[in-house]
Amino acid sequence: MKVEEILDLMDEMLDKSSQVPFSNKKMIDCEQMREYIDSIRLNMPGEIKRAKDMEKDQKRLLDEANKEAEGIIRKAEERAKALVAEQEILKQAAEIGKEQIKRAQEQADEIVSQAVAKDNDIRNALAANLERTLSEAEKVLSASLADVTSTKEAVLRISKPAAKK
């Protein structure tokens, strides 16, 4: 189960929980809430692993792009050497080789730039998702703790007058 789904279940549990009489507090099933929290804890490493996998994929793409660029450059150099026979052909080959190397470098730069931008997007999306998920979990847990504390205080207030009699 995904963290988002667990948080939805927690929201639903809070919405469906019983109202504490004479207060705006609600009673929740603590065991169920603990199970949800444990599920979130178990699922977070999976999401982190997926992020690391995405990072590995990005590195792999960069490596492939660099190898492809090197291959393009190597082919351009080979083509330029093959054209060297006479003075005129030598000039043409040098120009063609330079142009191909320039294009290959531009392609390599573009591939690397795109990979870096994709990496940044992935990292930003992951950070935003983790921040949002943790913030939501923190809100739910804070609200639950506040509800438990107020319920406990209400129970103590209710039980004190009975003890005096």
Q: Among 31-35, 88-92, 106-110, which stretch is predicted with the lowest mean pLDDT?
A: 88-92
Average pLDDT over residues 46-58: 82
pLDDT higher than threshold 70 for residue 35: yes
Note the pLDDT tens digit of each residue in 62-74: 888 888 888 888 8
Note the pLDDT tens digit of each residue in 119-130: 899 999 989 998
Q: Is 86 helix (H, G, I), strand (E, B) or coil?
A: coil
Note the pLDDT tens digit of each residue in 67-98: 888 888 888 778 766 655 567 776 888 899 99
Q: Kindly report the three-state secondary structure assignment for every residue of 31-75.
A: HHHHHHHHHHHHHHHHHHHHHHHHHHHHHHHHHHHHHHHHHHHHH
Q: Is residue 50 very low, low, confident or very high in pLDDT (cuts 50, 70, 90)? A: confident
pTM over 0.75: no
Report domain extents, the chain: 3-139
Residue 142 to residue 152: CA distance in whole angstroms: 15
> What is residue 103's predicted lDDT score, i.e. its pLDDT?
92
Q: Which of 69, 123, 121 is nearest to 100 (CA)?
A: 69
> What is residue 80's predicted lDDT score, i.e. its pLDDT?
62
Structure-block tokens of residue 110: 């573009």
- Summary mean pLDDT of the chain: 85
> What is residue 38's predicted lDDT score, i.e. its pLDDT?
87
One-letter amino acid identity for 41?
R
